[in-house]
Amino acid sequence: MYTHFWNRRYTRLSRKYITLTPIEIFEYKNHWKPGYTVRLHSDLVDQGKTWCRRNCERHQWSMTTWTDNYEHTFHFEHPDDGMIFETIWPKFVNQ
């Protein structure tokens, strides 16, 4: 259901992408979550969000706050994005 929905809505038309509404983004994220998860120390949460905003589309990542003491969890649709994210702060992820 979601695959057909996504392919139909997010297609390239004259070099412009169709923007999704917030509810469509929410439904799409729920389809692929939890995806690839990366736990990050809470002191680096702002840098983590900035990296995600610059390198991923809004529908390709999500963050859950305070999943453990001093920890937030980032969820990625594509494992490649999560692996790159992990290599940026190797001492502060998945501890």
65-88 pLDDT tens trace: 999 999 999 999 999 999 999 999
| pTM value surpassing 0.85 | no
Write the DSSP assignment of 13-72 as a string of letters: ETTEEPPPPHHHHHHHHHHHTT-EEEEEEGGGHHHHHHHHHHHS-GGGEEEEEEEETTEE
pLDDT digits (tens, 9 = 90+) for 23-39: 988 898 899 899 999 99
Identify the helix (H) or strand (E) that includes residue 72: strand 71-76
Q: Give pLDDT tens digits for 3-17.
A: 444 444 444 444 456
The pLDDT score that the predictor gives to residue 18 is: 66
Average pLDDT, the chain: 84
pLDDT in tens, 38-50: 999 999 999 999 9
- Domain locations in the chain as residue ranges: 20-88
